Amino acid sequence: MKSIIYLYSDISCQKIVKEIFFDFDVEELFFEKIKENNFKNKNVLFVIKDVDIEFFEKSFFFNNNVVIFSTKKQNELYEKELNNSKFYYAPQNLKKFLDEIKSYFLSSAIIFKDIKIVNETAHNLSLGNKCALTELERSILLQLIDKKKIERKYFLEKILEINKDTETKTIESHLTRIRKKLLQIKSNIQITSKDDVFSIEFWATNMDLLVKKTL
């Protein structure tokens, strides 16, 4: 399954961006979505001409993997504060630009509860334990983290890219391997299934609840 790039732009460029990033799914991003607090861990491309990025909350840039391509120079102080984002200004060498962006998006860390996924490795943020993931296992985990609940039909057709009439045990075999790896690194994340819906949940320990209560 292709990774997603969310495109925000003040010019009409969606068609050409889709052609350039043909190995990604490109979805248009609107300002209303940017304001949502739960929009996190996404690959976002800004292609802007007249927009000032100071207009957006800094938390949006800190919570996502953002690349800004602008035809005008942005505020240098603001740019320095957003040191986890990448800034590019026209003109650019297209091949170098694409290679750097793709590498940035594909290697960016995804954080969910007590785990961090970097490339094809899952890390326990608290304990430091880690395990290797296959490309498909990583894709399944990222989809669950993004959507929280996935129906069987979507799982088969969009993630596994096989016929929707395939038996559910095909899905369960993949999930069982992921569950074992999460258990291996002592994560409190659980993947559950009920009525052909697969969910990702975080089962807090007593220590987690105590820490949360004292904060």
Q: What is the pLDDT of residue 215?
A: 37
Please, are residues 138 and 120 in contact by the beta-carbon 8 Å criterion? yes
Check: pTM over 0.75? Answer yes or no.
Answer: no
115 with 205, same domain: the answer is: yes
Burial annotation 148-160 (CB, 10 A radius, 16+ → b, else e):
eebebebbbeebb
Q: Identify whether 215 is part of a domain.
A: no
Q: Identify whether 102 is part of a domain.
A: yes
Distance (Å, whole) CA 178 – CA 168: 16
Query: What is the span of the domain harbouring residue 143?
Result: 110-209
DSSP secondary structure code for residue 71 in this structure: S
Distances (CA, A) of 155 to 16, 63, 85, 94, 189: 29, 26, 31, 35, 19
Structural domain ending residue among the three candidates 53, 80, 107: 107
Kindly report the CATH number assigned to the domain that includes residue 66: 3.40.50.2300
9 with 73, same domain: the answer is: yes
70 with 145, same domain: the answer is: no
* pLDDT tens digit sequence for 13-64: 999 999 999 989 999 999 988 888 788 889 999 999 988 888 888 889 988 9
| Measured CA angle at 69 (ends 18, 51), to 5 deg | 110
205 with 153, same domain: the answer is: yes
Kindly report the CATH number assigned to the domain that includes residue 153: 1.10.10.10
Tell me the helices (H) and strands (E) count for the chain, helix number first: 9, 12
